[in-house]
Structure 1
Amino acid sequence: MKRTLEERLQDGPVICGEGYLFELERRGYLQAGSFVPEVALDNPQALKQTYRDYMLAGSDVVLAFTYNGHREKMRIIGKEDLLEPLNRQAIRLAKEVAEEHPEEEALVAGNISNTNLFDPEDEESKAAIRSMFHEMISWCKEEGVDFVNGETFYYYEEAKIALEEIKKQGLPAVITFGVMGENKLRDGYEVEEACRLLEQQGALVVGMNCFRGPATMQPYIERITQAVDGYVGALPIPYRTTEEHPTFFNLPDGGCSCSLPTETTFPTSLDPLYCNRYELAEWAKEAQRSGVHYYGLCCGASPSMLREVAETVGRKTVNSTYSPDMEKHFLFGSDSTLNQTNTAYKTRA
């Protein structure tokens, strides 16, 4: 029997692999800029392999890649006719991969996200967003997902609409916010208050994802864990954001010696600004101490990074067999059969 999300949360940490957007762009199957997940239709095997890599690295969830796969994005690229096929295909591929898990079938999550349309003063925009969420969540229900992940909301009210539409379909909801440089949501809510309200309205997991690296997300996660009674999710980006530059939208790279095609390092020049896996492990320890239940990494994450987080919070993953072990490295190993001339040379290499 496949345990539900709630049952898994009751049993211990749940890992959710995200970051497909940047990962598939890095692999060459997605266009930076529009960031629309056409890969589900154009290169389904590439998407399946990405799902698989994150699952084997520790993800309990195969998250259907429909982030930005909503009507507004499809309108912008002139492909609204592909909206429903894209959404259904992304979910079906996720289900196929979830069934491959050698130990326990992975959960399959539908995915909705910020629309970039929300205007707190415009009722028509709210109605349009509700309609967009309704159709996407209806397809999730029909395709048999285990829960719906609503993410990267920077307006409380947009997240509230998302939760209402998920509940109408009778599905469990994970709702996470993306907090920009104002350090609060755009409609004035403190993120912990927004999470508290959504929990009261029936969200199973609340928290934060994207925009912020571990250093600038964790202080808010600690406030959320103090404000809510239930399950908290934390999915930072794996970049070294700072108090001066709390999100990856304006992260500078002082070592860059060439001119960039964009005004900032975001989104295609962030490479030198990564956290290493051990920094991410330190964050995972801190998040666990603060009471996080639902762990992941967002844009920029790789499977090896996710595996480090999973192992840090006590999980052994399918691919833990490939976790680093320097014992037999020709320079840095300690195995007695190694060439000792090489190991003695390591300080001068």
Structure 2
Amino acid sequence: MASKSKGLLERFRDGEVVICAEGYLFEFERRGYLQAGTYVPEVVIEHPELVEALHREFVHAGSDVVLAFTFYLHREKLRLIGREADLERLNRAALRLARQVADDTGTLMAGNICSTNIYDPTDPAWEPAARAMFKEQIEWAVEGGADFIYAETFFAYAEARLALDCVKQYGNGLPAVVSISKHRGDLLFDGVPLEDALERLAEAGAAAVGLNCGRGPSTMLPLLQGLKDKIKVPLVAVPVPYRTHQDSPHFMTLKDPDGNLAFPLDLDPWLCSRSQIAAWSARAYALGVRYLGLCCGNASHFTRAMAEALGRQPPASRYTADMTKHAYYGTDPALIKFNTEQVRKTKF
């Protein structure tokens, strides 16, 4: 077992950056172990060895946090696929895998809750139902040894605030990191401005607040610039690694050349490059972001690029590209000169 790392609050207190790799849903869908659309992570009990391996891969690439794969493992999602009876089993399995990897690697382990998909301001019944869903997942996370709770991907302030209140009530004192997913326009789904929502969450006791999912680096950055001097707790930034733009600030509205929606299966042409992720990470850090990650679409090479942009050398950096030894583009004097000279002469 690796030595225990500093806690989340200690890291924030010391001005450190916490990297948290996400993107499990998309990665397992790409690999053929999770269904797009329903997006229920049944893989945690069907192929637990693969979930454990991806946890380890993300830590190898530079993640400071092993995020339990309980995103969308709530009662509403399981109801839709007829597996409510497996709710507790799935959550506890995911938490157990994350805790084991965190213990082995000396990293933090986070429990994970998210939007319930039942928020409806016209129906007061949504709140007690959502509270019950948050309560059970938070209590399982506490029992599973989580170091903090990450509450994410909320589209309405009311649901984000309820999630935070539930962490405070049922989380046995665990810190809460809370992030909102921002669509087009100035207001969240319940009419609250983003800045106001995050300020209220910070004042209510969140350890860190900010943005995740939906927006890519280029369309999340302007929002962060507007928040950096107004949020008094560490700022969270976890974009998707897709090249969203002004006309389509959210990856769910990106379209292919024929005008068809690319989400979720045809987003590959919009993936960022590693250098773009590295450049964005450095800019986000310069703005004061202290909780960084990547959401849907992330993979370990992006996490490594992020870590290296922050001056780190995770274990995966042993294999960072060294083009000086490339047979054709390299500069090492031991290379065969004929090959390198041909590249300079030839137009490939």
User: In structure 2, do the counterparts of structure 1 residues 76 and 152 end up closer, same or farther at CA, with 3 Å as the change threshold?
Assistant: same
Counterpart AA for 1:72: E
Question: What's the offset of the Cα at 1:181?
Answer: 2.0
User: In structure 2, do the counterparts of structure 1 residues 113 and 311 end up closer, same or farther at CA, with 3 Å as the change threshold?
Assistant: same
Q: Matched residue of 1:293: which SS? A: strand
Indicate the residue corresponding to 2:120 in structure 1: 119
Q: Which of residues 238, 252, 270 in structure 1 aligns to 2:241?
A: 238
Indicate the residue corresponding to 1:191 in structure 2: 194
Question: What's the offset of the Cα at 1:22?
Answer: 0.5
Q: TM-score, normalised by structure 1?
A: 0.95
Counterpart AA for 1:165: C
Question: What's the offset of the Cα at 1:143?
Answer: 1.1
Q: TM-score, normalised by structure 2?
A: 0.95
Moved more, 325-334 or 232-241: 325-334
1:29 aligns with 2:33: yes
Q: Deviations over 1:259-282 (max 9, x none)?
A: 9xxx51100100111110111111
1:316 aligns with 2:313: yes
Aligned 8 A contact 2:99 2:144 in 1: no
Structure 1 portions without partners, runs of 5+: none
Q: Which of residues 67, 70, 74 in structure 1 aligns to 2:71?
A: 67
Paired residues, number = 340
Indicate the residue corresponding to 1:50 in structure 2: 54
Supply the distance in 2 between the matched residues of 1:173 and 1:277 (Cα, whole angstroms): 30
Aligned 8 A contact 2:201 2:209 in 1: yes
Q: Matched residue of 2:150: which SS? A: strand
Indicate the residue corresponding to 1:336 in structure 2: 333
Aligned residues with identical type, % of pairs: 45
Question: What's the offset of the Cα at 1:200?
Answer: 0.4
Indicate the residue corresponding to 1:97 in structure 2: 101
Counterpart AA for 1:312: A
Indicate the residue corresponding to 1:307 in structure 2: 304
Q: Which of residues 41, 48, 67 in structure 1 aligns to 2:45?
A: 41
Question: What's the offset of the Cα at 1:183?
Answer: 4.2
Indicate the residue corresponding to 1:17 in structure 2: 21
Q: Matched residue of 1:121: which SS? A: coil
The RMSD of aligned alpha carbons is: 1.3
What does 1:72-221 correspond to in 2, within 5 Å? 72-101=76-105, 105-168=106-169, 169=171, 170-221=173-224
Q: Deviations over 1:317-344 (max 9, x none)?
A: 1211111211111111111111112112
Moved over 3 A (4+): none
Structure 2 portions without partners, runs of 5+: none
